Amino acid sequence: MAEKPDRSAASLWLGTAPTTDYAAVSGDVEVDVAILGGGIAGLTAALALKRRGLTVAVVEAGRIGNGVTGSTTGKVTSLHRLVYTELAASHGPDIARAYGQANQQAIDHVARTVAAESIDCDFRKVSNYTCTEDPEALGRLRDEADLAAELGLPSTYTIDVPLPYETRGAVRFDDQAQIHAVKYLQGLARAVHGGGSFVFEESPVRHVRDRSPAEAETDGGIIRARDIVVATNLPIGDGGRFAERCLPHRSYIVGSPATSLGADATFISADEPLRSILTTVQDGTHYLLVGGEGHPLPSSGGSAERFDRLAAFARDRLGAGEPAYRWSTQDAMPTDGLPFAGPISPASQHVFVITGLRKWGLTNGTAAALVIADLVSGHANPSAGLFDTNRTVPLKPPPSPEAPPTEPPVLKPGQGSVIDADGERLAVYADTEGTTHSLSATCTHMGCTVQFNSTDSTWDCPCHGSRFSLQGSVIQGPAAKGLPGRGGAEPV
C-alpha cells in the first residue's frame, strides 16, 4: 500500500488510512463469483464466499473505501435510533426481532473477522445511545428500550447519559462497537486477494449480463462468473428497479479536534435536528465526529450552511475546535424500511443485489452480505426472507423535472448551470479562467437532468443520486457511464 495522502477534503477515515493500489482489470477473467463494488457489502460477501472455497473477483470502480463506507460515521450497532418501534408498527414484532438479530449477528461477524484476519481498524466495543433532550420524548424512548429488550437485544432505558450537555434520557445498547471503516475494508480486501481470487480497482463495470456464465464488462476486460453480486450501493444493471424502491438520502459530517468525551460510547439524538456523535483517536489526536443535516435528494439549501450548523453544535455543545474534516455522502433508504439482498429481479438466476442499507450499512450491509453468501453457495439463511428482493414495497416516482432556461445565463468562474440548447440539455461550467465547458446534462442512468452542486462542484442527478465530476466521470452511481462531452467524447 502507498503512503498516506493528504486528503483533508475527504472523510477523516480516508484521510487517516493508506491508499490501496490493486491493479485494474486487464484482460478477461474467470471466477466463480464476481462482486461489483468494494464497500462493506461487496467485500464482506467476497470474503464469506472465498472462505467457502469459491474463487471471487471484487471489481471496484475507484479505490477500496472511496464509496459510502469510507464516508460513514463508523458505528457498528443494532441500535438504529428508534427502529424497533418503527418496524414493529410497520411490519410486526417478528420482523423487528429478525432485523435486530441480523444486526446483532453482524456485530459479532465484524468482531470475529477483525480477530481472524488481524485487521488493525481501531475496532472497539462501546455502548451506543439514542438520547433525547425533550422530556416529552421520554415515553417513546422508554417504549423503544422495553421493546428492544423483549426482542432479545442488549437494551436498557437510562437517564444517565454520558454527554457534557443536558439530556433527559436514552435507550442504551451495550456491547456495540465502532471501527475505522476504511482500514476495515482494506483488511477485508487483503484477505480476499490471492489464491485464485482478485481485487480489482479503478475498473468501473459498464454492463452486467445475466447469462450463463454471467458477465461484468469493464473497459479493461470481461469478468465471467457463475454468479454476479451487484454491491454498488444503488445497483447498476437492474433496469432501474431498485431506483423505485430506495431513496438516496444525503448526510453531512464534521470531524473536529476535541478533548475526549470521557465515555466509551457513541450517540444519536431521537430529536430533530438529528445529531450523531462518535469520538476517535487518529495519529494521537482526539477527534469528535458530529453528523446530521440529512435530507432526501434533490437538496434544498447549501452544504456550507449544513456543515456550519454541525460545526457550531460540536463547538458549543461539545467544546470541539474548528473542523479539520468536512464530508458528506448518501445512502439508499428502502421505501419500506428493510434492506434488500437477493436475486436482482424475479427472473434472475445468476445476478444478485445488495442495497437499501438505510444509513446503517456497517451492520445491515454485513448481514445482507452474509445472506448473499449463503444464497450463492446454496445454504439456508434465516435473514433471507427479511431482505427478500421480490417482496412488494411502495414504489417512489422520480421528482418532476424542472425546465431549464433557454437563454444561457452569464456564469461567473466556478459556477455551473443547465441550459436548453436547441432542444438538448447541456451542463455548462465556467472554470476559474471563465472558460466554459459543456457536457450532456442527461444522466446516463435513466435520463433525468443533472443539477449543478455549487458546494462540491459536481453535477448531481436529483432522481436517484448519481453524481458526476466536472469532467463528466461518475463519482457515485447508480449511473455506470459518465456524461458525454459536447464533442461526443465519453468520460470514464
Ligand X SMILES: Cc1cc2nc3c(=O)[nH]c(=O)nc-3n(C[C@H](O)[C@H](O)[C@H](O)COP(=O)(O)OP(=O)(O)OC[C@H]3O[C@@H](n4cnc5c(N)ncnc54)[C@H](O)[C@@H]3O)c2cc1C
- 483 in contact with ligand X (CB under 6 A): no
Q: How far is it, in rounded angstroms, from Cα 151 to Cα 271? A: 24
Nine-digit cell string for 441: 446534462
CB closer to ligand X, 151 vs 277? 277
Q: Which of 35, 57, 61, 376 binds ligand X (CB under 6 A)?
A: 61
Q: How far is CA 61 from CA 65, 73, 351, 352, 474, in A?
A: 11, 22, 18, 18, 9
User: Are 258 and 279 within 8 A, CB to CB?
Assistant: yes
Provide CB contacts within 8 A for 160, sequence distance 6+. none
Strands 458-460 and 467-468: antiparallel
**Planar angle of CA 280, 284, 289, nearest 5 degrees:** 25
- 85 in contact with ligand X (CB under 6 A): no
User: Are 292 and 274 within 8 A, CB to CB?
Assistant: yes
What is the closest distance, in whole angstroms, from the C-beta atom of residue 231 to ligand FES in the complex? 17
Judged by beta carbon distances under 5 to 8 A according to partner kind, the member of ligand FES, ligand X, none in contact with residue 231 is ligand X
Judged by beta carbon distances under 5 to 8 A according to partner kind, the member of ligand FES, ligand X, none in contact with residue 268 is none
- 255 in contact with ligand X (CB under 6 A): no
Look up residue 364 and give its amino acid: N
Comparing CA positions, the residue from 347, 320, 337, 308 lying closest to residue 256 is 320
User: Are 128 and 107 within 8 A, CB to CB?
Assistant: no
CB closer to ligand FES, 227 vs 331? 331
- 66 in contact with ligand X (CB under 6 A): yes
Q: Which of 49, 362, 375, 439 binds ligand X (CB under 6 A)?
A: 362
CB closer to ligand X, 253 vs 419? 253
Interface residues with ligand FES (CB under 6 A)? Answer: 243, 443, 445-448, 461, 463-466, 478-479
CB closer to ligand X, 154 vs 477? 477
User: Are 325 and 257 within 8 A, CB to CB?
Assistant: no
Q: How far is it, in rounded angstroms, from Cα 87 to Cα 99? A: 9
Comparing CA positions, the residue from 109, 59, 345, 383 lying closest to residue 217 is 59
- 20 in contact with ligand X (CB under 6 A): no
- 481 in contact with ligand X (CB under 6 A): no
Judged by beta carbon distances under 5 to 8 A according to partner kind, the member of ligand X, ligand FES, none in contact with residue 170 is none
What is the closest distance, in whole angstroms, from the C-beta atom of residue 73 to ligand FES in the complex? 24
Q: How far is CA 147 from CA 101, 152, 248, 358, in A?
A: 13, 9, 29, 21
Q: How far is it, in rounded angstroms, from Cα 429 to Cα 465? A: 20
Q: How far is it, in rounded angstroms, from Cα 62 to Cα 87? A: 35
CB closer to ligand X, 290 vs 428? 290
- 127 in contact with ligand X (CB under 6 A): no
Residue 188: left (phi > 0), alpha (psi -120 to 50), or beta?
alpha
Bridge-partner residues for 158, per DSSP? 170
CB closer to ligand X, 182 vs 430? 182
User: Are 314 and 254 within 8 A, CB to CB?
Assistant: yes
Q: How far is it, in rounded angstroms, from Cα 491 to Cα 484? A: 6
CB closer to ligand X, 417 vs 466? 466
Judged by beta carbon distances under 5 to 8 A according to partner kind, the member of ligand FES, ligand X, none in contact with residue 446 is ligand FES
CB closer to ligand X, 144 vs 331? 331
Provide CB contacts within 8 A for 153, sequence distance 6+. 78, 79, 84, 100, 104, 173
487 DSSP assignment: T
What is the closest distance, in whole angstroms, from the C-beta atom of residue 479 to ligand FES in the complex? 6
CB closer to ligand X, 18 vs 405? 18
- 306 in contact with ligand X (CB under 6 A): no
Q: Which of 19, 251, 280, 348 binds ligand X (CB under 6 A)?
A: 251
What is the closest distance, in whole angstroms, from the C-beta atom of residue 344 to ligand X in the complex? 14
**Planar angle of CA 226, 228, 233, nearest 5 degrees:** 170
Q: How far is it, in rounded angstroms, from Cα 51 to Cα 84? A: 33
Judged by beta carbon distances under 5 to 8 A according to partner kind, the member of ligand X, ligand FES, none in contact with residue 464 is ligand FES
- 60 in contact with ligand X (CB under 6 A): yes
Comparing CA positions, the residue from 96, 111, 110, 109 lying closest to residue 152 is 96
- 101 in contact with ligand X (CB under 6 A): no
CB closer to ligand FES, 372 vs 450? 450
Nine-digit cell string for 21: 493500489
CB closer to ligand FES, 154 vs 356? 356
- 154 in contact with ligand X (CB under 6 A): no
What is the closest distance, in whole angstroms, from the C-beta atom of residue 362 to ligand FES in the complex? 24
Judged by beta carbon distances under 5 to 8 A according to partner kind, the member of ligand FES, ligand X, none in contact with residue 243 is ligand FES
CB closer to ligand X, 243 vs 430? 243
What is the closest distance, in whole angstroms, from the C-beta atom of residue 421 to ligand X in the complex? 29
Q: Which of 15, 37, 248, 462 binds ligand X (CB under 6 A)?
A: 37
- 67 in contact with ligand X (CB under 6 A): yes
State the residues that interact with ligand X by CB under 6 A: 36-42, 59-62, 66-69, 72-75, 204-205, 231-233, 236, 251, 253, 291, 329-331, 357, 359-363, 365, 477, 480
